Amino acid sequence: MSWLSHLLNPLRRNQAPAFQPNPSRWVVVDVEASGLDLRRNRLLSIAALALQASSAQPPRIVLGDSFEVVLQQSQADTALKQVSKDNILLHGIGVGAQRQGTPAPQALQAFVDFVADSPLIAFHSFFDQTLIERNLRQSLQQQLPNPWVDVEHLGAVLSHNPRRYSLDEWMARYGIHCIARHQASADTLATAELLVRLWPKLVERQATTWPALVNLANNARYLPGRS
């Protein structure tokens, strides 16, 4: 062993092990926010729903393994001038519910505990991931190591269509009914059902494991005309 290797070995022993996503439990995530501006708008709620994953069969939605929390907002943030009535009508989280929610550190820690080592799935995941990670840094001074996959990217690759279809359009295409659209818990279920409907095409592409799913979703950027 060289003197350099001898010096580096203790450092290597002290390094944290690489994150290993759970191959059999995937979690679908959706958030509600005070608007669509990632720089200014506030995270209002997080919902998550687990899937039992297996490369041999479609993922199974586990309704009993779910999570939902409304984050507490300050009185200043929920002053009438700061709250859009149209936004409240969209997600249904009123001023009272926002003020009585769970304090952000507790809410976010509960989310982290729920997802544990599960990889994460969302529709337009960049929005959900950005809001969650920004709030984790602010409230808990930590990062979320869990990898994400965007179901919209999967749909685009599987249909060979660069157009960015909305979740409503995908739901209409596959006959998926959502009990309360734009409410996080209902949207997680709709997204999970969409992934199940896409599964036969994923089988054809041999993309039924998490690494294969990630690789396929990443191919969306190479679709001709994709902006």
Instruction: State the pLDDT at residue 107.
Output: 97
Question: Could you tell me the mean pLDDT of each successive run of 10 residues in the chain, 227 residues long?
Answer: 51 66 96 82 93 93 96 68 50 66 95 98 96 96 96 96 93 88 84 97 96 96 87
Instruction: State the pLDDT at residue 13.
Output: 52
Helices 151-159/184-204 angle, 10° precision: 40
Instruction: State the pLDDT at residue 89.
Output: 41
- Distance separating alpha carbons of residues 96 and 134, to the nearest angstrom: 24
CATH of domain 22-222: 3.30.420.10
